[in-house]
Amino acid sequence: MVSKSEIIEKLKGKQLKVTPQRVAILEACYQLNNHPGAENIIHFIKDHHPHISVGTVYKVLDSLVENKLLKRVKTENGIMRYDAVLSSHHHLYCEETDRIEDYVDVELDSILNNYFRGKKMKNFKIKDIKLQITGKFK
């Protein structure tokens, strides 16, 4: 649970002006936990903020990504989705629906880190490693 004041602090920390729209959008991303797209965010916000504009939502999302308050989630259907959880984690992708859940596993992370520490890739500098696990929820 992330409070509104924490959200405001996050925006300030990035020197971003604290507007009601930005607060609402970032708040929506924290509360909608299934990696929402713009559509989901707009729908969620409309209750408390009926006059928000679609263009604004996209602009704010871009700027939040650029300022590393959100990450984009990779998908294969051409719809952008966003992730407010910034700490290292992996994703479970349902192969039948568009559900995407977080998968956190520190043991796995340490195995991967050890493995890649030793590994030297000639032509690539690794910044982040994420598992993309596809399958089926049961």
Partner DNA sequence: ATAATTGCAAAAGCTTTGCATGGCC
Partner DNA sequence: GGCCATGCAAAGCTTTTGCAATTAT
Contact residues toward a second copy (CB under 8 A) are 72-80, 92-93, 95, 101, 108, 111, 115, 123-138
| From DNA, a second copy, none, interface partner of 20 (C-beta below 5 to 8 A by class) | DNA
For the chain, the C-alpha Rg in angstroms (whole number) is 17
- Output 55 or 118, the one with its CB closest to DNA: 55
- Output 9 or 105, the one with its CB closest to a second copy: 105
Residues numbered 11-40 forming contacts with DNA, rule: CB under 7 A: 12, 16-22, 37-39
Phi, psi of 74 (to 5 degrees): -75, 130
Tell me the CA distances in angstroms from 104 to 87, 98, 130, one per residue in order: 9, 19, 11
Query: E strand or H helix at 81, and its extent?
Result: strand 81-83
| From DNA, a second copy, none, interface partner of 2 (C-beta below 5 to 8 A by class) | none
- Output 21 or 88, the one with its CB closest to DNA: 21
60 binds DNA (CB under 7 A): yes
Angle subtended at Cα 16 by Cα 9 and Cα 27, rounded to the nearest 5 degrees:
55
Q: Which residues contact 44 (CB under 8 A, 6 or more apart)?
A: 28, 31, 32, 36
Q: Which of 1, 5, 47, 55 binds DNA (CB under 7 A)?
A: 55
Q: Rounded CA gap, 104 and 89, in Å?
A: 5
Can you give the binding site for DNA, defined by CB under 7 A?
12, 16-22, 37-39, 51-56, 58-60, 62-63, 78-80
